[in-house]
Amino acid sequence: MPGEEIIDPMAYDGWWTLVGVALLVLALLVVVAGALLTRTRTEAPAEGEPPAEPADPLVVLRNETVRRLDDLGRRRRTDEIDDRAFYLELRAELRTFAQARTGRNVRSSTVTMLAASPETRRLATELEHTLAPAFGPDARRGSWHSGARADNQAKEALRRARRLVLRW
């Protein structure tokens, strides 16, 4: 082919270069967007949003018990329940908390039985403070105490119960 002339390849228009660069940029954006959208969150959740990590079960138990104690106090203040029912429910809440906290069935244990165990001695002390209002001779007649004295004793019982739940 000695006499044949070699022809140069045909040149493409300039817009093909722009299409190639645009496709490369688009591919890069897809990779970056995929990386950003699939990564795990490390910042704190927004207010009102549940936490991403499971909470400590003891903290959850304490918070739930304190919430129920607050509700019990509200129900007593609004006269939804009388004093005897208040103290009976307070004792039940403390026993429920103690059972979940220790893993032992303390719902039917006497105060003496609870006081004998170092694990439940704190509970026994608090239950002793609520014996007279719940089971005393005047408890059924509703005349254990009345007025401001009864209110103060109920507030003190709730304060002690919250302290037990938060510190135990």
Percent of the chain whose pLDDT exceeds 90: 37
Q: Give yes or no for a contact between 114 and 124, defined as CB atoms under 8 angstroms apart.
A: yes
For the chain, give the longest Cα–Cα distance.
Answer: 129
65 burial type by CB count under 10 A (0-12 exposed, 13-18 middle, 19+ buried): buried
* Mean pLDDT (the chain, rounded): 83
- Counting every residue written for the chain, the total comes to 168
Query: CA-to-CA distance for 14 and 16, rounded, in angstroms?
Result: 5
Distances (CA, A) of 136 to 74, 141, 146, 157: 24, 10, 14, 16
Query: CA-to-CA distance for 11 and 14, rounded, in angstroms?
Result: 9
pLDDT class of 144 with cuts at 50, 70, 90? very low
The contacts of residue 38 (CB under 8 Å, 6+ apart) are none
Of the candidates 123, 134, 105, 112, the residue with the CA atom closest to the CA atom of residue 168: 123
Looking at residues 110-139, what average pLDDT do you find? 80
Query: CA-to-CA distance for 22 and 35, rounded, in angstroms?
Result: 20
Confidence check: pLDDT of 50 > 80? no
Looking at residues 75-94, what average pLDDT do you find? 91
The contacts of residue 82 (CB under 8 Å, 6+ apart) are 142
Q: Give yes or no for a contact between 53 and 36, defined as CB atoms under 8 angstroms apart.
A: no
Structure pTM?
Answer: 0.60
